[in-house]
A and B are shown apart, each in its own frame.
Chain A
């Protein structure tokens, strides 16, 4: 389990690389363009996405933390503007269920194997 945590943390550290300008990018990559189809704000060219991009970079210049920005946008647009799920309660099933699925499968395969029997 610890092993997986290392994975996940290193993965996130890539996704949220920290360079000055890149902070805007990492935030907008994690925001869903609500008027587009399956794109993040970062990827989209729509007016909506452009506004959010401008807004986020302005907020960063005003020394707001990432949390402040997320919180503000959630209060305006709802949770669905956050593109990527975290490990909070409402997503727990999303992370746990596949692992359970896999473990049950492994159990069945091992039960079939000669050596183990």
Chain B
């Protein structure tokens, strides 16, 4: 009788340790957005009109055989202003940055770039979000680091920071 109860209690405690661990583990998991999917895959050869010349260009026309950064931005996006100085800093380290202007008014976009300096090699216009979807993006700002073989090395959601800059600089 007591043995049976003891056994029950023991198995109960064991079971709850397992369940506890399960919930405990889930607490510390990355939940929000999952940027892992695109990493390591081929950068799609995005194609669109550019902001200044109004002619259709694709990524491979702009860069070849070198690492580069793709940055999705919009003039109405507040965090984009925060990361702008870092983009300028990247540009000054001779990194090519391709801007994707996400659902924006072209006048506002140009004004935005003039006001805060232009870090972009070229700006592709993404009028309906289609380019962003090809990149697997969730919103603005988002930034991708691509190596010379057009493979996506890193993806950053939200305004980029110095860690991201380090990743860019360290990449061959």
Contacts and interface: CB of A to CB of B under 8 A. Distances in A.
6 contacts: A34-B138, A48-B138, A54-B130, A76-B37, A76-B133, A80-B34
Contacts of B129: 47, 50-52, 54-55
Interface string B129-142: 11011111011000
Interface residues of A, number: 16
Contacts, number: 44
A77 interface: yes
Contacts of A50: 129
Interface string B34-64: 1011100100000000000000000000000
Contacts of A73: 133
Contact of A76 (B38, B103, B139): B38
A98 interface: no
A51 B133 contact: yes
Interface string A3-39: 0000000000000000000000000000000110000
Given A35-B139, A76-B133, A51 B128 contact: yes
Nearest to B74: A47
Contacts of A76: 37-38, 133-136
Interface of B: 33-34, 36-38, 41, 103, 128-130, 132-136, 138-139
B131 to A, nearest CB: 10
Contacts of B37: 75-78
B132 A51 contact: yes
Nearest to A74: B37
Nearest to A73: B133
A112 B33 CA distance: 50
A46 B134 CA distance: 18
